[in-house]
Chain A
């Protein structure tokens, strides 16, 4: 038996960026927009937070840092950055009705480029020896667990040891789930993704819903990038370190069949898959760990196939996913 008490927190920490990403993408996809730019958005969300934190740390000596500002500035920067990315995608696909796949892929190229470019520039600005930038002071604010976590043994470690962004992620997922299922806004949003013509005829402003869902979705996903640098990576930004987590988040959307509440547990499961190799004895054979890393993709694929074979109407992707809407289409 392996050490569950140390495994679960690590799985959770791996899972949180995915949870942000998938919640954001679910919101976006529910409006009928398949935003394949989410990986890029998450990069931008991360780097913007880093930039904000960097300048704040530069401007203020560590001992006089204000907790609210230390957290608030990077968060606002991150949200603003991913909002801009969401807007860019929205303008192109909603207003200009561009192909969503192509726009999304271009957005990912662009976003990863931005992340690595500014990351690289900041690294150069610090004149650091190592190719990374460390914002440990800011990170300390982000990763602070609940105060009494250490006193509660395994319970504290498993449930209370995370930074506030982790709890926020779960909160956002629960709220999103509630909004989608139980509120009028959620009903309208789902209608837009299922059948924009119907929603339009019912007097719902399709364009606004698509914009809102895509932009809010981007901002949520961007927080995943922020969590990754500030909490998971202890404030250390190095280029390409975020890796393919953005795509994994998109996989998670399919895996959870478009339900943010399932995503909470599923993201932790995926996080667990991601680090499983550390816990399963594979001897000195490092290569096996690469195969373990394949598990999330394989299980997602299996879910995708099973769902399409079962043909249950409620489990299908939003009917209009990936298609632009033009009212006067004839």
Chain B
């Protein structure tokens, strides 16, 4: 390249391939970030966006291929290399030290020798904050901060060390719309200041709102890029999923609807004393799918765990109407019981938690061992019954097409979709009266997602009360009969899935009434 020619590309990645064991996360990717642009890197969960970016930030090292920064070939073998090249990445899981203050975190890792001159550092940080419009309390410890404050610290940290290229990994997933707007404003300020930005996301409206150009990954491959002004939600979806999808999830009309689970005035606090659910009341009906929508962290996890007996409840009641009990029998009160007690008193509830390997499954065990998670107590005496779980494992293996060499192969080593099939399969096999799922299709490919939707709908038609916590509004609106919207731990509305539109639900998700948690 001619040295006199002005530098045009901030980053160029050529023929990048990265494998994890036998899984190819990125395959032969060619990617360009131009100077001074905001580029959206779009793709479904698991399409390899984060992996690709982690090779720029020095977390991973490519198996094949070459990276150029400012048109110079480079080898980024550590995060330090990345910083030296002016690349800063804001990870989805913040890389902050909890017991340090904001200032300490921001100056962390910088070279200046000797004594720590926090005063001087603070001056520069304040300058940066004023320049781009950040608001943070510099002396606060990270563990006392809200998610959006932590994110601000992350961004300031990257700017403080002079990053010219910023990579933001799904920055809006944890933010309220107001916070998102603020973030986008800051991003535009940075662009105006000559910085180049990559935003990883799978939210189309954000892509269209903030970026100049969109690059799309699908299943680890680079599909292509378009100027944002030439793109529409539809064209981007086509690129992302490969073919145009109207979701077309079958939604049969519910029959024999009857209250199954009645929640009233439920209030819970976490171990730090923060109110996580505030006076939540709703009814989950048998024969219906009740969707739960909300910004991440609005109390979805706490709600499901509280119903399952896994979260301490400070006020309220959860009543279960047993379909097997006689008509006039009073409903069972579940508050105050642990999961085992709930099970013992005959309440059949299934729960597909968000954290599959950390909560729903035992990663080091095979399918059989994981089937036992629900049945280990069965049978008399001190010994385990392996036969029934083994049979169940074989059944799920066949019926749901789980890809695994054997029923004793550790589930941790399976792919995300197969892990989820094992989990959902097991929960459905319990023949539950209530089935609760949290982000059941997160990280799954389209086909598996549809398998899951169908399974849930089948359960609904069997007369199960299905609770579906989701993040994709399109899916919620096509799958669920009713949608409950959570906002800041409160119910901001319950709408009919057939008549509600996206805008209405979106508005409910962001309506904050007298709640100051999301400043």
Bound pair: A and B? Answer: yes
Q: How long is the Cα–Cα vector from A319 to B57 in the complex, in angstroms?
A: 24
| 8 Å CB contact of A195 from B78, B80, B97, B104 | B97
B91 at the interface (CB under 8 A from A): yes
| Chain A hits for B89, CB < 8 A | 201
The smallest C-beta distance from B264 to any residue of chain A, in angstroms, reads 32
B191 at the interface (CB under 8 A from A): no
B99 at the interface (CB under 8 A from A): yes
| Chain A hits for B113, CB < 8 A | 184
| 8 Å CB contact of A314 from B20, B59, B99 | B99
Whether A204 contacts B109 by the Cβ 8 Å rule is yes
Would A202 and B79 be within 8 Å (CB), given that A188-B108, A197-B95, A327-B59 are in contact? Answer: yes
The smallest C-beta distance from A318 to any residue of chain B, in angstroms, reads 9
The smallest C-beta distance from B511 to any residue of chain A, in angstroms, reads 34
Whether B104 contacts A182 by the Cβ 8 Å rule is no
Q: How long is the Cα–Cα vector from A194 to B89 in the complex, in angstroms?
A: 20
The smallest C-beta distance from A151 to any residue of chain B, in angstroms, reads 39
1/0 per residue, CB under 8 A from B, across A78-91: the answer is: 00000000000000
Whether B98 contacts A319 by the Cβ 8 Å rule is yes
B311 at the interface (CB under 8 A from A): no
| 8 Å CB contact of B80 from A182, A190, A194, A205 | A205
Would A203 and B80 be within 8 Å (CB), given that A183-B115, A184-B116, A188-B108 are in contact? Answer: yes
1/0 per residue, CB under 8 A from A, across B48-89: the answer is: 000000000101100000000000000000111011100001
Q: Which residues of B from 99 to 150 have beta carbons under 8 Å from A?
A: 99-100, 104, 107-110, 112-116, 141, 143
Q: Which residues of A from 181 to 209 have beta carbons under 8 Å from B?
A: 182-184, 186-188, 190-191, 194-195, 197-205
Would A201 and B79 be within 8 Å (CB), given that A195-B98, A327-B59 are in contact? Answer: yes
Query: How many of chain B's residues have a CB under 8 angstroms from any CB in A?
Result: 32
The smallest C-beta distance from A24 to any residue of chain B, in angstroms, reads 23
B96 at the interface (CB under 8 A from A): yes
Q: Which residues of A from 6 to 48 have beta carbons under 8 Å from B?
A: none
Q: Which residues of B from 355 to 370 have beta carbons under 8 Å from A?
A: none
| Chain B hits for A187, CB < 8 A | 100, 104, 107-108, 116
Whether B141 contacts A182 by the Cβ 8 Å rule is no
Q: Which residues of B from 10 to 57 have beta carbons under 8 Å from A?
A: 20, 57
Whether B141 contacts A198 by the Cβ 8 Å rule is no
Whether A195 contacts B95 by the Cβ 8 Å rule is yes
A310 at the interface (CB under 8 A from B): no
Q: Which residues of A from 235 to 270 have beta carbons under 8 Å from B?
A: none
The smallest C-beta distance from B140 to any residue of chain A, in angstroms, reads 13
Which residue from chain A places its CB closest to the CB of B57 in the assembled complex?
A: A201
The smallest C-beta distance from B164 to any residue of chain A, in angstroms, reads 16
Q: How long is the Cα–Cα vector from A205 to B113 in the complex, in angstroms?
A: 15
Q: How long is the Cα–Cα vector from A204 to B100 in the complex, in angstroms?
A: 16
Which residue from chain A places its CB closest to the CB of B143 in the assembled complex?
A: A313
Q: How long is the Cα–Cα vector from A187 to B100 in the complex, in angstroms?
A: 9
Q: How long is the Cα–Cα vector from A195 to B91 in the complex, in angstroms?
A: 14
Query: How many of chain A's residues have a CB under 8 angstroms from any CB in B?
Result: 25
Whether B95 contacts A201 by the Cβ 8 Å rule is yes
| Chain A hits for B143, CB < 8 A | 313
| Chain A hits for B112, CB < 8 A | 184
Q: How long is the Cα–Cα vector from A111 to B482 in the complex, in angstroms?
A: 68
Which residue from chain A places its CB closest to the CB of B271 in the assembled complex?
A: A311
| Chain B hits for A188, CB < 8 A | 108-109
A328 at the interface (CB under 8 A from B): yes
The smallest C-beta distance from A321 to any residue of chain B, in angstroms, reads 13
The smallest C-beta distance from B363 to any residue of chain A, in angstroms, reads 12
1/0 per residue, CB under 8 A from A, across B324-341: the answer is: 000000000000000000
Q: How long is the Cα–Cα vector from A199 to B58 in the complex, in angstroms?
A: 13
Q: How long is the Cα–Cα vector from A195 to B143 in the complex, in angstroms?
A: 13
Which residue from chain B places its CB closest to the CB of A207 in the assembled complex?
A: B78
Whether B108 contacts A200 by the Cβ 8 Å rule is no
Whether B91 contacts A201 by the Cβ 8 Å rule is yes
The smallest C-beta distance from A251 to any residue of chain B, in angstroms, reads 23
The smallest C-beta distance from A182 to any residue of chain B, in angstroms, reads 6
Which residue from chain B places its CB closest to the CB of A313 in the assembled complex?
A: B99
Whether B116 contacts A191 by the Cβ 8 Å rule is no
Whether B110 contacts A330 by the Cβ 8 Å rule is no
Which residue from chain B places its CB closest to the CB of A328 in the assembled complex?
A: B60
Can you identify 27 A-B contacts, CB atoms within 8 angstroms?
Answer: A182-B115, A183-B114, A183-B115, A184-B107, A184-B114, A186-B116, A187-B107, A187-B108, A188-B109, A190-B97, A191-B109, A194-B98, A197-B95, A201-B59, A201-B95, A203-B78, A203-B82, A203-B83, A203-B161, A204-B80, A204-B109, A205-B80, A313-B98, A313-B99, A313-B143, A319-B98, A328-B59
Chain B residues proximal to chain A, CB less than 8 Å:
20, 57, 59-60, 78-80, 82-84, 89, 91, 95-100, 104, 107-110, 112-116, 141, 143, 157, 161
* 5 residue pairs, one from A and one from B, having the closest CB atoms: A202-B109, A203-B80, A201-B95, A198-B95, A203-B109
